Amino acid sequence: MTYASSIDTKGRVGTFAAVAAVQLVVGYALIAGLAAKFMPKVPATRTEATNFRLPPPPPPPEQHTRVDPKPLTKTPPVHDTHQPLPMDPPTFTTVSEPVFDGGTLGGTGHDIGEVRIPQPDPPPLPSLVHGARPRGNPGLWVTADDYPSADLRQEHAGVTRFRLEVGIDGRVRDCTVTGSSGHPGLDQAACAKLTARGRFDPAIDSTGARLPGSYSSSVRWQIPE
Protein backbone atom coordinates (compact mmCIF):
# COMPACT_ATOMS: atom_id res chain seq x y z
CA MET A 1 0.00 0.00 0.00
CA THR A 2 2.76 2.22 0.85
CA TYR A 3 4.44 1.49 -2.52
CA ALA A 4 1.23 1.93 -4.36
CA SER A 5 0.51 5.20 -2.65
CA SER A 6 3.99 6.46 -3.38
CA ILE A 7 3.75 5.50 -7.03
CA ASP A 8 0.32 7.02 -7.36
CA THR A 9 1.37 10.23 -5.75
CA LYS A 10 4.38 10.62 -8.02
CA GLY A 11 2.25 9.81 -11.02
CA ARG A 12 -0.31 12.39 -10.12
CA VAL A 13 2.33 14.99 -9.57
CA GLY A 14 3.81 14.21 -12.94
CA THR A 15 0.42 14.30 -14.55
CA PHE A 16 -0.39 17.63 -12.94
CA ALA A 17 2.93 18.97 -14.02
CA ALA A 18 2.35 17.82 -17.60
CA VAL A 19 -1.15 19.24 -17.68
CA ALA A 20 0.08 22.53 -16.24
CA ALA A 21 2.83 22.65 -18.82
CA VAL A 22 0.34 22.00 -21.62
CA GLN A 23 -1.96 24.67 -20.28
CA LEU A 24 0.89 27.13 -20.11
CA VAL A 25 1.85 26.36 -23.70
CA VAL A 26 -1.74 26.61 -24.85
CA GLY A 27 -2.26 29.83 -22.90
CA TYR A 28 0.90 31.32 -24.31
CA ALA A 29 -0.10 30.31 -27.77
CA LEU A 30 -3.51 31.90 -27.33
CA ILE A 31 -2.02 35.08 -25.95
CA ALA A 32 0.58 35.18 -28.69
CA GLY A 33 -2.04 34.52 -31.35
CA LEU A 34 -4.40 37.19 -30.06
CA ALA A 35 -1.54 39.65 -29.84
CA ALA A 36 -0.54 38.81 -33.37
CA LYS A 37 -4.14 39.14 -34.51
CA PHE A 38 -5.18 42.33 -32.75
CA MET A 39 -1.93 44.21 -32.55
CA PRO A 40 -0.53 45.27 -35.93
CA LYS A 41 3.03 44.54 -36.57
CA VAL A 42 5.06 47.73 -36.58
CA PRO A 43 7.64 47.56 -39.30
CA ALA A 44 11.16 48.40 -38.51
CA THR A 45 12.15 51.96 -39.20
CA ARG A 46 14.23 52.27 -42.37
CA THR A 47 15.63 55.38 -43.90
CA GLU A 48 16.05 55.03 -47.61
CA ALA A 49 17.00 57.78 -50.05
CA THR A 50 15.09 57.85 -53.33
CA ASN A 51 16.12 60.10 -56.21
CA PHE A 52 13.14 61.79 -57.87
CA ARG A 53 13.58 63.38 -61.30
CA LEU A 54 11.92 66.82 -61.30
CA PRO A 55 10.04 67.87 -64.48
CA PRO A 56 11.75 70.53 -66.59
CA PRO A 57 10.63 74.10 -65.88
CA PRO A 58 8.05 75.52 -68.33
CA PRO A 59 9.45 77.67 -71.15
CA PRO A 60 9.22 81.44 -70.61
CA PRO A 61 6.27 83.14 -72.36
CA GLU A 62 7.00 84.37 -75.84
CA GLN A 63 7.49 88.08 -76.06
CA HIS A 64 6.20 89.54 -79.30
CA THR A 65 8.38 92.38 -80.34
CA ARG A 66 6.68 94.78 -82.71
CA VAL A 67 8.75 95.21 -85.79
CA ASP A 68 7.96 98.20 -87.93
CA PRO A 69 7.49 97.19 -91.53
CA LYS A 70 10.17 98.33 -93.79
CA PRO A 71 9.09 101.17 -96.06
CA LEU A 72 8.35 100.04 -99.55
CA THR A 73 10.94 101.31 -101.89
CA LYS A 74 10.62 101.21 -105.60
CA THR A 75 13.60 100.23 -107.55
CA PRO A 76 14.34 103.03 -109.98
CA PRO A 77 13.99 101.91 -113.55
CA VAL A 78 17.13 101.25 -115.39
CA HIS A 79 17.27 103.12 -118.65
CA ASP A 80 19.30 102.01 -121.55
CA THR A 81 21.93 104.65 -122.08
CA HIS A 82 21.95 103.83 -125.78
CA GLN A 83 18.20 104.48 -126.19
CA PRO A 84 17.19 108.18 -126.52
CA LEU A 85 14.46 109.34 -124.17
CA PRO A 86 11.20 110.52 -125.78
CA MET A 87 11.01 114.26 -126.20
CA ASP A 88 7.96 116.37 -125.36
CA PRO A 89 5.67 116.92 -128.34
CA PRO A 90 6.05 120.34 -129.97
CA THR A 91 3.54 123.01 -129.05
CA PHE A 92 2.00 125.01 -131.88
CA THR A 93 0.34 128.39 -131.62
CA THR A 94 -2.30 129.40 -134.10
CA VAL A 95 -1.57 132.83 -135.54
CA SER A 96 -3.16 134.84 -138.30
CA GLU A 97 0.06 135.40 -140.19
CA PRO A 98 2.26 132.64 -141.68
CA VAL A 99 5.15 131.62 -139.42
CA PHE A 100 8.59 131.11 -140.93
CA ASP A 101 11.64 129.79 -139.16
CA GLY A 102 14.91 131.24 -140.32
CA GLY A 103 16.93 128.31 -138.94
CA THR A 104 17.96 125.15 -140.69
CA LEU A 105 16.57 121.66 -140.47
CA GLY A 106 19.10 118.89 -140.00
CA GLY A 107 21.96 121.12 -140.99
CA THR A 108 20.94 121.04 -144.66
CA GLY A 109 20.39 124.77 -144.88
CA HIS A 110 16.76 124.50 -146.02
CA ASP A 111 14.30 126.91 -144.42
CA ILE A 112 11.24 125.53 -142.67
CA GLY A 113 8.11 126.49 -144.56
CA GLU A 114 4.77 127.68 -143.25
CA VAL A 115 3.27 125.67 -140.42
CA ARG A 116 -0.48 125.16 -140.72
CA ILE A 117 -2.64 123.65 -137.98
CA PRO A 118 -5.78 121.93 -139.28
CA GLN A 119 -8.87 123.25 -137.57
CA PRO A 120 -11.97 121.10 -137.09
CA ASP A 121 -15.00 122.09 -139.05
CA PRO A 122 -17.63 123.90 -136.98
CA PRO A 123 -20.85 121.98 -136.39
CA PRO A 124 -23.54 122.77 -138.92
CA LEU A 125 -26.05 125.39 -137.89
CA PRO A 126 -29.75 124.55 -137.85
CA SER A 127 -31.38 125.40 -141.15
CA LEU A 128 -34.55 127.44 -141.54
CA VAL A 129 -37.57 125.32 -142.41
CA HIS A 130 -39.92 128.26 -143.05
CA GLY A 131 -40.23 131.90 -142.12
CA ALA A 132 -43.10 133.69 -140.42
CA ARG A 133 -46.40 132.86 -142.12
CA PRO A 134 -49.49 135.10 -141.88
CA ARG A 135 -52.65 133.57 -140.50
CA GLY A 136 -55.67 134.25 -142.65
CA ASN A 137 -55.79 136.87 -145.42
CA PRO A 138 -53.33 139.77 -144.89
CA GLY A 139 -55.38 141.88 -147.37
CA LEU A 140 -58.09 142.21 -144.72
CA TRP A 141 -55.75 143.66 -142.08
CA VAL A 142 -56.09 147.15 -143.70
CA THR A 143 -59.28 148.07 -145.61
CA ALA A 144 -60.91 151.19 -147.08
CA ASP A 145 -62.73 151.70 -143.79
CA ASP A 146 -59.32 152.45 -142.26
CA TYR A 147 -58.72 155.44 -144.56
CA PRO A 148 -57.70 158.45 -142.46
CA SER A 149 -60.44 161.10 -142.72
CA ALA A 150 -58.01 163.94 -143.40
CA ASP A 151 -56.30 162.03 -146.23
CA LEU A 152 -59.68 160.95 -147.53
CA ARG A 153 -60.90 164.56 -147.73
CA GLN A 154 -57.74 165.57 -149.49
CA GLU A 155 -58.01 162.50 -151.73
CA HIS A 156 -54.55 161.26 -150.83
CA ALA A 157 -53.64 157.90 -152.37
CA GLY A 158 -50.54 155.79 -152.76
CA VAL A 159 -48.76 152.55 -151.80
CA THR A 160 -47.14 152.03 -148.38
CA ARG A 161 -44.46 149.33 -148.35
CA PHE A 162 -43.62 147.83 -144.93
CA ARG A 163 -41.68 145.16 -143.05
CA LEU A 164 -43.08 143.54 -139.92
CA GLU A 165 -40.92 142.01 -137.20
CA VAL A 166 -42.65 138.89 -135.81
CA GLY A 167 -41.88 137.35 -132.43
CA ILE A 168 -41.83 133.65 -131.54
CA ASP A 169 -45.41 134.01 -130.26
CA GLY A 170 -46.62 135.08 -133.73
CA ARG A 171 -47.38 138.70 -132.77
CA VAL A 172 -46.05 141.77 -134.58
CA ARG A 173 -43.30 143.45 -132.56
CA ASP A 174 -42.42 146.30 -134.90
CA CYS A 175 -43.43 147.87 -138.22
CA THR A 176 -41.01 149.67 -140.54
CA VAL A 177 -42.05 151.65 -143.62
CA THR A 178 -39.70 150.58 -146.37
CA GLY A 179 -41.45 152.62 -149.08
CA SER A 180 -43.61 155.67 -148.34
CA SER A 181 -46.89 156.43 -150.07
CA GLY A 182 -45.95 160.09 -150.05
CA HIS A 183 -48.41 160.84 -147.28
CA PRO A 184 -47.32 160.33 -143.63
CA GLY A 185 -50.91 159.91 -142.47
CA LEU A 186 -51.41 156.92 -144.75
CA ASP A 187 -48.07 155.34 -143.72
CA GLN A 188 -48.81 155.74 -140.00
CA ALA A 189 -52.34 154.31 -140.39
CA ALA A 190 -50.97 151.27 -142.26
CA CYS A 191 -48.41 150.39 -139.53
CA ALA A 192 -50.94 150.96 -136.74
CA LYS A 193 -53.53 148.58 -138.25
CA LEU A 194 -50.94 145.96 -139.25
CA THR A 195 -49.43 145.88 -135.76
CA ALA A 196 -52.84 145.52 -134.11
CA ARG A 197 -54.31 142.93 -136.47
CA GLY A 198 -51.41 140.96 -137.85
CA ARG A 199 -51.10 137.34 -136.63
CA PHE A 200 -48.44 134.84 -137.77
CA ASP A 201 -47.17 131.33 -137.37
CA PRO A 202 -43.58 131.89 -136.16
CA ALA A 203 -40.52 130.79 -138.11
CA ILE A 204 -39.27 127.22 -137.48
CA ASP A 205 -35.75 125.78 -137.88
CA SER A 206 -34.66 122.20 -138.58
CA THR A 207 -34.63 121.35 -134.87
CA GLY A 208 -38.26 122.41 -134.46
CA ALA A 209 -37.39 125.54 -132.46
CA ARG A 210 -39.38 128.74 -132.95
CA LEU A 211 -37.47 131.69 -134.27
CA PRO A 212 -38.18 135.41 -134.64
CA GLY A 213 -39.04 136.27 -138.22
CA SER A 214 -40.13 139.07 -140.51
CA TYR A 215 -42.79 139.67 -143.13
CA SER A 216 -42.76 142.26 -145.92
CA SER A 217 -45.62 143.46 -148.14
CA SER A 218 -47.49 146.62 -149.08
CA VAL A 219 -50.82 148.42 -148.64
CA ARG A 220 -52.43 150.24 -151.54
CA TRP A 221 -54.41 153.30 -150.54
CA GLN A 222 -57.11 154.12 -153.09
CA ILE A 223 -60.06 156.51 -152.76
CA PRO A 224 -63.20 154.38 -152.65
CA GLU A 225 -65.80 155.15 -155.33
pLDDT of residue 171: 95
Assign residue 153 the CATH number of its domain: 3.30.2420.10
Q: Is residue 112 part of a domain?
A: no
Which has the higher per-residue pLDDT, 78 or 127?
127
Could you give the percent of the chain with pLDDT greater than 70?
56
What's the pLDDT tens digit per position in 77-86?
555 555 555 5
Average pLDDT, the chain: 75
Q: Is residue 77 part of a domain?
A: no
Q: Is the pTM of this model over 0.75?
A: no
Asked whether 177 and 161 are in contact (CB, 8 A), the reply is yes
Residue type, 87: M
Q: Is residue 160 part of a domain?
A: yes
Q: Is residue 201 part of a domain?
A: yes
**Number of C-beta neighbours around residue 217 at 10 A:** 16
Q: Is residue 93 part of a domain?
A: no
The domain total for the chain is: 1
Q: Is residue 105 part of a domain?
A: no
pLDDT at 38 over 70: no
Q: Is residue 118 part of a domain?
A: no
Indicate the DSSP class of residue 206.
T
Q: State residue 121 phi and psi, 5-degree precision.
A: -70, 140
Give the pLDDT mean for 116-136.
Answer: 85
pLDDT at 211 over 80: yes
- Dihedral of the alpha carbons of 185, 190, 191, 195, in degrees to the nearest 10: 140
| Rounded Cα distance, 155 and 159, in Å | 14
| Domain coverage including residue 199 | 132-221
Q: Is residue 139 part of a domain?
A: yes
pLDDT of residue 4: 42
